[in-house]
Amino acid sequence: MSRLSQKFQEKNTTIIWLFLIIALATVLRFYHLDLNPSSLSWDEASIGYNAYSITRTLKDEHGRFLPYDYFAAFGDYKPPVSIYLTALSIKLFGFSTWAIRFPSAFLGVLTVLLTFFLCEELRRHFNVKTLTSNFSLLASFVLAISPWHTLLSRAEFEANIATFLIVLGLLLFLKGLKKGWYLLFAMTSFAAAIYTFNSARLFLPLFAIGLAVFTWKDLWQKKKFVVLSLILGFIVLLPLLPHLLSPLGRLRFQEVNIFTDASVVEKSNARIAADNNVWWSKIINNRRIGYSLLFLERYFDHFNTDYLFFTGDINPKFSTRTNGQFFLIEVIFLICGTYFLWKKEKKLTAFLFFWLLIGLIPASTARETPHALRTEISLPTWQLISSAGLYYLYSLFHGRGKKIFAGFLAVILFWEFTLYLHNYYVHYPKEYSQDWEYGYKLAAEKTMSYKDKYDTIWVSEKYGRPYIFFLTYQKYDPAKFQTEAKVTIDSFGFYHVEAFDKYVFGSLGKAKLSGKTLLIDAPDEIPASAHKIEDLNFLSGEKALEIAEL
């Protein structure tokens, strides 16, 4: 066989394997997409209804015309890209759970595909000699079956869309080092990520600085396009700047970040006072040191072995809680990948760890750590390192040893993967339907049959923000909602929908009820004077809500 024919055959084989990997990724992200998770989360419902409102009225739920900087939503001021992508999906497929989740699932599949091409570009740019296209295929495969990535792709998470845009932006950036005009598209993709997810707003400036350091020689050769890209980025991001610099733009960060934790200041002051306010105590007990140590503690939480390999994120929305963010066998691949990459391909290793390590910074400023959603922007670096470990380990064997090693790994990985799928499709929906606000979904659907019989329907807010589920699952007319909703804004900037149509939300004692009233409340909290009608249960069988009439 000639060398040309061999290369052609290898290319065809690579294409076939890549097609199979993408097919697998598609099945894992789309199978029963509308049924599992069992209900839209309130953020998904908010994204979905705002998108629906855009398709019907060109306004968000609060009546703001085609927002370009933020959607007020609950007062969490959601970035716009996810909502507009969902609006497009709803326009194409209709208003449904499947359509709301489609953008995240679809772009999750594309991220798997782009990972292959990104690996190929990284190999070329860093002149990697010890890894072939088989490594790129492995990286796509490992991401395709990743519990971390599959789970986050199956719900409308802004982080998952931002991850796609960052991977796309990096791929275009690397291509731009040869053909400068690609840099303009790379900048557009990075800017879109900033319009997509809050963590990207801290991550991407740091990432851009790192990219400039790693590739400054190549960038200098394309300085004309670099300047044009910077101008383009400034123009695209300029409309967002007033919001980012405003009190509203800082609200979400102030709500979740560790630097507003007063206990750090109190502890610092108490220690200084105990040392009689001596100068050296003011240095070692300085609150800035306290916040720095707290940040480092949160940062290293993301390397917790329980989180990575055993139980995963404590929030069931981001983990099945029956396995880690990675399969257990990947601990071997990650360790070996780190060792062999550093030994054989130092430049590539330095870049991957730079990306991974700064990808953890945004989440480490928050109070809840480790946090799989806020660190998804560090993907697929973990998978690239894991795949490199598997690739190098396999290369250590020869002859029959390769087949034995491959078979051994295949059995273990298949077992872990099958166990994950079993837990996800059989146990996860039942055990964690309450975490996906399944009770409010049932209530919204059930009250459709009761609505005409009552003058008022009161709903408890004990489990969060019920109004958005009634709007979404009942496909309530956005134009009507915008004119009739009773909305208040508290001192922190959060929006509270107190009533619309026949629905009233909030405290039962303060609610203004009139006529024949239907009550929807938490178990055992329905007033004794009310007549109980029926129970609404979570998929586990546990009682979620009670319906009664007053």
Tell me the C-alpha distance between 317 and 433, whole Å.
Answer: 10
Tell me the C-alpha distance between 372 and 351, whole Å.
Answer: 21
Give the DSSP letter of residue 259. Answer: G
Q: How confident is the model at residue 268, as a pLDDT?
A: 84
Q: Is the peptide bond between 247 and the residue preceding it cis, with omega within 30 degrees of 0?
A: no
Q: Say which residue the tokens 């002149």 belong to.
A: 127
CA distances from 83 to 192, 197, 242, 305, 445 (A): 13, 11, 20, 35, 23
Give the DSSP letter of residue 366. Answer: B
pTM confidence score: 0.95
Instruction: Encode 376-391: b = buried (16+ Cβ within 10 Å), e = exposed.
Output: bbbbbbbbbbbbbbbb
Q: What token pair was written down for 547?
A: 């319906």
The region, left, alpha or beta by phi > 0 then psi within -120 to 50, assigned to residue 497 is beta
The number of beta carbons lying within 10 Å of the beta carbon of residue 448 is: 11
Cβ-based neighbours of 338, under 8 Å, separated by 6 or more:
349, 385, 389
Q: How confident is the model at residue 280, as a pLDDT?
A: 83
Encoded amino acid at 128, one letter:
V
Encoded amino acid at 106, one letter:
F
Q: Determine the 3-state secondary structure of 519 from DSSP.
A: strand
Strands, E assignment, 142-257? none
Cβ-based neighbours of 238, under 8 Å, separated by 6 or more:
none
What does the H/E/C string look like for 29-48?
A: HHCCCCCCCCCCCHHHHHHH
Q: Is the peptide bond between 429 and the residue preceding it cis, with omega within 30 degrees of 0?
A: no
Give the DSSP letter of residue 257. Answer: B
From first CA to last CA, the distance across the chain in angstroms is: 84
Q: What token pair was written down for 338?
A: 């780190």
Q: Determine the 3-state secondary structure of 155 from DSSP.
A: coil
Give me Rg for the CA atoms of the chain.
Answer: 26
Angle between helices 182-194 and 223-237 (to 10 degrees): 30
Nearest C-alpha neighbor of 101 from the set 178, 27, 30, 4: 30
- Ordered per-residue pLDDT tens for the chain, 550 residues: 566 667 767 788 999 999 999 999 999 999 999 999 999 999 999 999 999 999 999 999 999 999 999 999 999 999 999 999 999 999 999 999 999 999 999 999 999 999 999 999 999 999 999 999 999 999 999 999 999 999 999 999 999 999 999 999 999 999 999 999 999 999 999 999 999 999 999 999 999 999 999 999 999 999 999 999 999 999 999 999 999 888 777 766 666 788 877 888 888 888 888 878 888 878 788 888 888 999 999 999 999 999 999 999 999 999 999 999 999 999 999 999 999 999 999 999 999 999 999 999 999 999 899 999 999 999 999 999 999 999 999 999 998 999 999 999 999 999 999 999 999 999 999 999 999 999 999 999 999 999 999 999 999 998 889 999 999 999 999 999 999 999 999 877 889 999 999 999 988 888 888 889 999 999 888 998 899 999 999 999 999 999 999 8
Angle between helices 158-176 and 182-194 (to 10 degrees): 160
Nearest C-alpha neighbor of 463 from the set 18, 42, 14: 42
Q: How confident is the model at residue 8, as a pLDDT?
A: 67
Q: How confident is the model at residue 253, as a pLDDT?
A: 66
Q: How confident is the model at residue 1, as a pLDDT?
A: 53
Q: How confident is the model at residue 45, as a pLDDT?
A: 98
CA distances from 31 to 48, 98, 376, 396, 425 (A): 20, 10, 22, 37, 10
The number of beta carbons lying within 10 Å of the beta carbon of residue 64 is: 15
**Chain Cα centroid distance, residue 423:** 21
Instruction: Encode 489-521: b = buried (16+ Cβ within 10 Å), e = exposed.
Output: eeeebbbbbbbbbbbbbbebeebeeeeebbbbb
The number of beta carbons lying within 10 Å of the beta carbon of residue 111 is: 27
Strands, E assignment, 370-513? 456-459, 486-489, 495-500, 503-505
Measured in degrees and rounded to the nearest 5, phi and psi for residue 486 equal: -100, 110
The region, left, alpha or beta by phi > 0 then psi within -120 to 50, assigned to residue 127 is left
**CA triple 116-410-426, angle to 5 deg:** 90
String of DSSP letters for 159-188: HHHHHHHHHHHHHHHHHHTTSTTHHHHHHH
